[in-house]
Structure 1
Amino acid sequence: MIRFLRGRRLATALAAVLLSAVACGSDPAPAPADHAATAPKSGAFPVTIEHKFGSTTITSEPKRIVTVGLTDQDAVLALGKIPVGTTDWLGGYTGAIGPWATGKLGGAAAPTMLTDTGTGPQVEKIAALAPDLIFALYSGLTKEQYETLSKLAPVVAQPKEYKDYGIPWQRQTEIVGKALGKEAESGKLIEDVEAGFAAARKEHPEFTGAGAVVTTPYEGFFVYGSQDPRSRTLTSLGFTLPADLDKVIGDKFGASISKERSDLLDQDAIVWTVPDIAKDSDTLHKDKVYKDLQVVKQDREIFINENGDYGKAFSFVTVLSLPYVLDRLVPQLAAAVDGDAATKVVQPSS
C-alpha cells in the first residue's frame, strides 16, 4: 500500500549508534564523484535554512549527502550530486533511484539504501555513512529524530509551513538547491517542469476548473488532501479539488472517508492508485455506493497501477519524476473529461 509511513520515536541512544559504527571495523565508503555537476556559486556558503525544528547552517559544500526524506534524492540528483545514502519507500529500485532518475547516476554506483520500518531513520547505518548533510524534506521526522540525527551531521528537516509529507516539489528542489549552493540551477529546473504543466494547460483548457480527486482503496475510500503532492499534480494542471476535502481530512495528508461522503469522489475525473487494476476496479464497480456515482457511469475513472513505474512516479512527484508522469497522465485525463462517455481511458504501454 502506498505511502502510509509515519515516523515514530527513536529508541536507540546515539552513544550506542556511534559505538556500533566504530565496531564495524570498516571505514565508510568514499563519496561518489559528482556526475556532470557544476561547482556551487561562489560565496554560497555558509547558508542557513529554516525548517520545522528551527534552522540549520551549512558551512561548506556537502560531499556526503544522505536523504531521509523519501523522495529527496531526486532533487539532489537533478542538481548533479549523488547521495551516499537514500531511504527506500516504494521498493523495487536499486538505491531507491527510479527509472526516471537513473540517468543522473552517469554510470556511478547507486547509493546505499536505507529503510524505514516504522521506527524512524536507521541511525546506525546513517552514522556508518559519515554524512556531512542529511535531507529530511519529504518526511514526517519528529523532533527527537531530528535531534538524534543532528549529532551526526547538519539536518535540513521538513518546512514548518506544510503538513508532514506535504512539501511541494518546487520548494523541495529550491531548498536542496540552496543547501548545495546551486540556487540558480534549481530555479531553472523548476521553470522547465512548470513549463510542462503550462503547455498541458494550454493544450487542454478543459482541465481548468474541472473537478478531480486522487484516492486509493485503503480502509474503504482513502482520499488525498490539497497538500498531498499527488493532488498538487492535478491542481497544477488546472483541476480543482472537492470544496470540503481538507475539512473532512483534517490535519493529515489524506484520510479514509465514510460512504456518506462519497460525494467527494463524484468529480469530473477520479484518479485511483491501486495494486491491481483489473481486480480492484472490478471490486469497486461492485460497490453499491460507488457504482452509482456519475463519475463511474460516465467512465471518467483513471486507474494507475501503484506497483508499476508509472504508479511509483505518480506518487514520487519530484522535479525528475513529473515529466515522466505528465507524458502518461495528461492523455488519460483528457480522455476522462472530454465529455464523451464512449472515450476509453487507455493505460500507458510503458
Structure 2
Amino acid sequence: MRGLVAAAAVVLMSLTACSTGPAGGGSEGGQSAAATDQFPVTVEHAFGETVIEEQPERVATVSWVNSDVALALGVVPVGMPKEDWGGNENGSTPWRDAKLEELGAAIGSENAPTQYSEVDGIAFDEVAELAPDVILAAYSGLTQEDYDTLSKIAPVIAYPETPYGTDWQDSTRMIGQALGLSQQAEDLVAQTEQTIVAKASEYPQLAGKSFIYGNLEPAKGDGVNVYTANDNRPKFLTSIGMVQADVVTEATKDSAEFFIPWSAEKANELASDVFVTWVPDDKTAQQITTDPLLGQIPAIKDDALVADSDNTLTLSISAASPLSLPWALDTFLPMLGKAADAADAAK
C-alpha cells in the first residue's frame, strides 16, 4: 500500500513557467498549458511504454512530486493526493499553495483540484471518478498490479527504473513529454538547477564535504538506515557540491534500493564530515548525541549533525520537485553550512 510504503519513504527519512490555457478546475476540468510538442508521444518507463494520443486536458496524479511538476509546468490537475505527512491544513504544502494561487486554482476555490487521501494506498476509485486523460506517477512506488489497475482508467506515466528513485529532473522531463511540454520541462530543469547552484554558492564550506543522509533512532539496535545514491536526499546534497561518504558508496554500490539498514553496533563506522537525519523533535536530537552507540558516529562527535525536526522541510527535500527545492533552500542550506563549519573546526 502506498500509505505504508510511502510512509517508509518519507519517515524512513525520518527514516524534487508557462502560459496557461483557459481555467477549468475541480471535477469540471483542469487548467493546461499550451502544448509545444506534436502528438502522439510515447513515454518509456519501468512497465513498458505509454502512448499519449493527444494533449491531455484532464490530468490526475498519484504519489508525491507529480502534482508539483504539473503545476510548475502550468498545468492544474483535476485530482491529486493530499499531503498527509508534512502537509498543512489544506492537505497541501506552502510551495504548492503558492503555485495554485498563482494559477487561479487555490485550495477551496471553485477551480481547485480534487484531493484524495493515499494513507491506505492509491485512491483508485477517486481517480477513476475524475475520468482523467492521463495519470502521472513518474515518481512513485507503483507495483505491476497498481499500474495495471490505473491503466484501465487512463494511460499511466510510471517511474523509469526504481520505485521512489526518480530524480526530480527525470520526473520533470517525463511529465513534460507526456503533457506535450518538453521544452518547457527542459527550461524548468535548467532554471531550478541554476537557482540551487546560485544559493549553494553562498555556502562555499559545503563544497567537497562528505555526507551521510540517514535515519537515526536512539536506543534501538536496528534504528539506523542509510540512504543510497538512488534516493533524492543524497542526490540533492550531491547537487550542491557535497560528496557521499565512501563507507556508504562502498556498502551500497550494488543496491537498487533507496536505503539500506545499518546496525547501530557499527554506527562508529559511519564516517563522514556531516550527517543529516530527520527527528520528530529536538528532544530526540539530543538523545541521538548522547546515545552510547549513535554518539560514536564521527560527525555527531564533531557536532556536525543536521537533525531536521520540520516535517514540511523534510518532505521538500525527500520528495524533491521544481517547486519544493527553491522553497527549501533558505532554511536547509544554513543548517548544512553550520554543520560544515563544525566539521572544519573539528579538524
- TM-score normalised by structure 2 residue count: 0.82
Q: Does 1:330 align with 2:325?
A: no
Q: Spell out, residue by residue over 1:203-251, the C-alpha distance to the aligned partner (whole angstroms, 9 max, x if none).
A: 4443232111112235411221111111111010111112242554533
Q: Could you tell me how far apart the structure 1 residues matched to 2:286 and 2:258 are?
A: 27
- Aligned residue pairs total 312
Show structure 2 runs of 5+ residues with no match.
8-25
CA 1:306/1:223 → structure 2, altered by over 3 Å: closer, same or farther?
A: farther
2:59·2:77 contact (CA, 8 Å) conserved in 1? yes
Q: Spell out, residue by residue over 1:277-310, the C-alpha distance to the aligned partner (whole angstroms, 9 max, x if none).
A: x211122122112223331232111111242x32
Q: Could you tell me how far apart the structure 2 residues matched to 1:297 and 1:91 are?
A: 29
Aligned to 1:124: 125
What is the CA RMSD across the aligned residues, in angstroms? 2.4
CA 1:96/1:328 → structure 2, altered by over 3 Å: closer, same or farther?
A: same
Q: Does 1:317 align with 2:300?
A: no
142-151 or 191-200: bigger deviation: 191-200
Cα shift at 1:182: 1.0
| 1:72-91 to 2 correspondences below 5 Å | 72-89=66-83, 90=85
Aligned to 1:18: none
**With CA pairs under 8 Å and 6+ residues apart, which has the higher RCO, 1 or 2?**
2
Cα shift at 1:172: 0.6
Q: Spell out, residue by residue over 1:317-350, the C-alpha distance to the aligned partner (whole angstroms, 9 max, x if none).
A: 111000111111222222211257779xxxxxxx
Q: Could you tell me how far apart the structure 2 residues matched to 1:138 and 1:82 are?
A: 18
Amino acid at match of 2:116: L
Aligned to 1:279: 283
Cα shift at 1:265: 3.6
CA 1:282/1:4 → structure 2, altered by over 3 Å: closer, same or farther?
A: farther
Q: Spell out, residue by residue over 1:30-69, the C-alpha distance to the aligned partner (whole angstroms, 9 max, x if none).
A: 113x2xx54111x521110000010001111111111113
Q: Does 1:59 align with 2:34?
A: no
Matching residue within 84, 93, 101 for 2:96: 101
Amino acid at match of 2:142: L
Cα shift at 1:145: 1.4
Cα shift at 1:266: 3.1
- Aligned partner of residue 29 in structure 1, secondary structure: helix
Q: Spell out, residue by residue over 1:239-282, the C-alpha distance to the aligned partner (whole angstroms, 9 max, x if none).
A: 11122425545332113310243245431111111111x21112
Q: Could you tell me how far apart the structure 1 residues matched to 2:263 and 2:4 are?
A: 19
Cα shift at 1:74: 0.4
Aligned to 2:40: 46
Q: What is the aligned-residue identity percentage?
A: 35
- Aligned partner of residue 331 in structure 2, secondary structure: helix
Cα shift at 1:101: 1.9
Q: Spell out, residue by residue over 1:168-198, the C-alpha distance to the aligned partner (whole angstroms, 9 max, x if none).
A: 1001111111111111111111111111232
Q: Does 1:194 align with 2:199?
A: no
Amino acid at match of 2:28: P
Q: Could you tell me how far apart the structure 1 residues matched to 2:60 and 2:91 are?
A: 12
CA 1:264/1:132 → structure 2, altered by over 3 Å: closer, same or farther?
A: farther
Q: Could you tell me how far apart the structure 2 residues matched to 1:49 and 1:153 are?
A: 14
Q: Spell out, residue by residue over 1:148-184, the C-alpha distance to the aligned partner (whole angstroms, 9 max, x if none).
A: 1111100011102xx2101010011111111111111
Q: Does 1:221 align with 2:224?
A: yes
CA 1:199/1:330 → structure 2, altered by over 3 Å: closer, same or farther?
A: same
Q: Could you tell me how far apart the structure 2 residues matched to 1:333 and 1:137 are?
A: 29
Q: Could you tell me how far apart the structure 2 residues matched to 1:239 and 1:268 are?
A: 10
Aligned to 2:237: 234
1:275·1:305 contact (CA, 8 Å) conserved in 2? yes
2:57·2:133 contact (CA, 8 Å) conserved in 1? yes
Cα shift at 1:4: 5.5
- TM-score normalised by structure 1 residue count: 0.81
Amino acid at match of 1:97: S
Q: Could you tell me how far apart the structure 2 residues matched to 1:205 and 1:252 are?
A: 31
CA 1:327/1:259 → structure 2, altered by over 3 Å: closer, same or farther?
A: same
Aligned to 1:17: none
- Aligned partner of residue 100 in structure 1, secondary structure: helix
Aligned to 2:134: 133
Q: Does 1:253 align with 2:248?
A: no
2:55·2:179 contact (CA, 8 Å) conserved in 1? yes
Amino acid at match of 1:55: E
Aligned to 1:31: 29
Matching residue within 267, 275, 292 for 2:272: 267
1:86·1:95 contact (CA, 8 Å) conserved in 2? no
Cα shift at 1:95: 6.3
Q: Could you tell me how far apart the structure 2 residues matched to 1:193 and 1:331 are?
A: 19
CA 1:233/1:49 → structure 2, altered by over 3 Å: closer, same or farther?
A: same
Show structure 1 runs of 5+ residues with no match.
8-27, 344-350
Aligned to 1:347: none
- Aligned partner of residue 334 in structure 1, secondary structure: helix
Q: Could you tell me how far apart the structure 2 residues matched to 1:55 and 1:40 are?
A: 21
Cα shift at 1:6: 5.5
Q: Could you tell me how far apart the structure 2 residues matched to 1:264 and 1:200 are?
A: 32
